[in-house]
Chain A
Amino acid sequence: MLFLLIIMPLLAGVSVCLPVRKRFRIELLCGVSLIHAVVTAFFWKQLPAPEFNGYLVLDYLGLILLSINSVLFVAVSFYMLGYFEHEPRRNRIFTVCLFFLLSTVTLVSASYHMGLLWVAIETTTLFSAPLISFYRNQQTLEATWKYLLVCSVGIALALMGTFFMAIAAHDTQTLLLPTLLSNASTLSVNWLKLSVIFLLVGYGCKMGLAPTHSWKPEAYGQAPGMAVVLMAGGLTQCSFLALFRVAQICAKSGLADFYSSILIFSGVLSLIVPAIFILGERNIKRAFAYSSIEHMGILVLGLGLGGAGIFGALFHMINNALAKIVMFLTAGSIAQKYGSARLEDVRGVIRVYPVTGVFLILALLAGTGMFPFATFHSELMILNAAVSTQHFALAALGCLCLGVMFIGIGRIILEMVYGQTTEPVLAKKENLFMNSAIAAGALILIGIGVWMPAALTKVIQGAAGLIK
Chain B
Amino acid sequence: MTIWIDAACILVVFFSLSILAAYRIGGMIQMFAVQSLVLSFMPVLMHSHALSLRDILLSLGTMVLKAVLVPYILFWAIRHVSMRSEVKPIIGIGSSIVCGALLIAGSFWVSSSVTFPGKIASDLVIPCSLATVLLGFMIMVTRTRAVTQVVGYLVMENGIFLFALSLFDAMPILIEMGILLDIFAAVFIMAIVVNHINEEFERSPAAVKRWSKMGESI
Contacts and interface: CB of A to CB of B under 8 A. Distances in A.
B31 interface: no
A41 B208 CA distance: 51
B182 A123 contact: yes
B190 interface: yes
Contacts of A153: 140, 153, 156
Given A113-B175, A144-B193, A137 B200 contact: yes
A133 B199 CA distance: 14
Interface string B134-173: 0000001000001001000100110010011001011110
Contact of A152 (B153, B192, B207): B153
Interface residues of A, number: 38
Contacts of B146: 145
Interface SS majority for chain B = helix
B9 interface: no
B159 to A, nearest CB: 9
Contact of B171 (A133, A142, A171, A175): A175
B17 interface: no
Contact of B200 (A138, A167, A191): A138
Nearest to A93: B192
Contact of B189 (A126, A141, A190): A126
B175 to A, nearest CB: 4
Contacts of B47: none
Determine which residue in A113, A125, A138, A144 has the highest number of CB atoms from chain B within 10 A of its CB, and name it. Answer: A138
Which of A133, A152, A153, A160 has the most chain B CB atoms inside 10 A of its CB? Answer: A152
Nearest to B180: A119
Given A126-B186, A148-B190, A170-B117, A138 B167 contact: no
A129 B182 CA distance: 14
Contacts of A113: 175
Contacts of A190: 114
B214 to A, nearest CB: 7
B157 A156 contact: yes
B10 interface: no
A169 interface: yes
Given A141-B193, A152-B153, A160-B163, A115 B179 contact: yes
Nearest to B120: A167
Nearest to B163: A163
Interface string A107-137: 0000001011011001101100110010011
Interface of B: 114, 116-118, 133, 140, 146, 149, 153, 156-157, 160, 163-164, 167, 169-172, 175, 178-179, 182, 185-186, 189-190, 192-193, 196-197, 200, 204, 206-207, 210-211, 214
29 contacts: A115-B172, A115-B179, A116-B175, A116-B178, A119-B175, A119-B179, A122-B182, A123-B182, A126-B186, A129-B193, A130-B189, A136-B200, A138-B200, A138-B210, A142-B210, A145-B193, A149-B153, A152-B153, A153-B153, A156-B156, A156-B160, A159-B179, A160-B163, A163-B160, A163-B167, A166-B171, A170-B170, A173-B169, A188-B117
Interface of A: 113, 115-116, 118-119, 122-123, 125-126, 129-130, 133, 136-138, 141-142, 144-145, 148-149, 152-153, 156, 159-160, 163, 166-167, 169-171, 173-175, 188, 190-191
Given A123-B182, A126-B185, A126-B186, 10 more contacts: A116-B175, A122-B186, A130-B192, A137-B200, A138-B211, A142-B210, A142-B214, A145-B193, A156-B153, A156-B157
- 7 smallest A-B Cβ distances: which pairs? A166-B170, A119-B178, A170-B117, A115-B175, A122-B182, A170-B118, A166-B167
